Structure 1
């Protein structure tokens, strides 16, 4: 299971006082209002940062970090992801899963066919799992109770039922 989840990517600096424009990669950009700590993935190291101020501008979140008061201190991190630990991640409801935990999961149909979950497509109604099966090739499976029979994140396994017309 993933220990860190990406919530955004630093797209550019904002002003000269160390603020950054962040493109949110989380479902709810409003969660940045509650976020107090993030981890800057600087490549070779992970830098813990304390969020001092949050503003919103168009599709971006403007963040100010405690102790970073100059554009020169943050400019080199353009394009770098911001992460949160699993403990700081958004609480999940029943039958909800972090996408990072699903990718790479082994999938087995109720007919005994094996595959691997390659991607998750987020649609307006429900998510759609992209599963590569040995027998069928790529299959798009809607994340609905009729298709998803069991998900075991700990064992990285999912059991599915392929409705007529999916393959």
Structure 2
């Protein structure tokens, strides 16, 4: 199964173990069909979960996991990221891609390969591509239009507009 992260688990809501979820895509409809996933925590712990219910909640959603029937038990899941089979990810629009698909892409300028994306740091201003350059070690590349041109995740290539940014 190819996994992708779709949401972060927030605070509990109510008395039956429901939890607020924050969808990374900003949409929530695709969460309704999910039956199971894995919650991954910052310290590396992973918990397989089965999803009992997804309920619209204003501009968000509430989620109920099987076996977590009280606020106290559900609270142990707060902060986890929900990883699911990629078929449950939010549908992509034209010229959209999943952040996870950027890993492994070659960063190119013209015909020259300058490095490979080994990770993505999601920040408030702009996502930063962590690039292992061919000859200069590691650099961060802001994923912004002024620096990055065409992104081709199928061909695993990212066009660099401003070559100086990796120097």
Same fold, TM exceeding 0.5? yes
* 1:110-125 correspondence to structure 2 within 5 Å: 110-117=110-117, 119=120
Q: Which residue of 1 aligns with 2:35?
A: 37
| Offset of residue 54 of structure 1 | 0.9
The answer to whether the aligner puts 1:21 opposite 2:20 as a matched pair is: yes
Report the TM-score, using the length of structure 1 for normalisation.
Answer: 0.65
- Whole-angstrom CA distance in 2 between matches of 1:141 and 1:81: 22
Q: Which whole-Å deviations, capped at 9, do the CAs of 1:72-95 have from their partners, x for residues lacking one?
A: 332222211112211222233454
Contact 2:4 / 2:84 at 8 angstroms: preserved in 1?
A: yes
Q: Where in structure 2 are the equivalents of 1:1-167 lying within 5 Å? A: 3-22=2-21, 24-31=22-29, 34-41=32-39, 43-57=44-58, 60-93=60-93, 95-117=95-117, 119=120, 130=129, 132=131, 133=133, 134=135, 138-140=140-142, 142=144, 147-148=149-150, 151-153=152-154, 157-160=156-159, 162=161
Which residues of structure 1 form unaligned runs of 5+?
A: none
Decide whether the 8 Å contact of 1:129 with 1:143 is kept in 2. no
| Secondary structure in 1 matching 2:112 | coil
Q: Is the 8 A contact 1:128 1:141 kept in 2?
A: yes
The number of aligned residues is 158
8 Å CA contact 1:38, 1:83 repeated in 2: no
| SS of residue in 2 equivalent to 1:41 | strand
Q: Could you say what secondary structure the match of 2:101 adopts?
A: helix
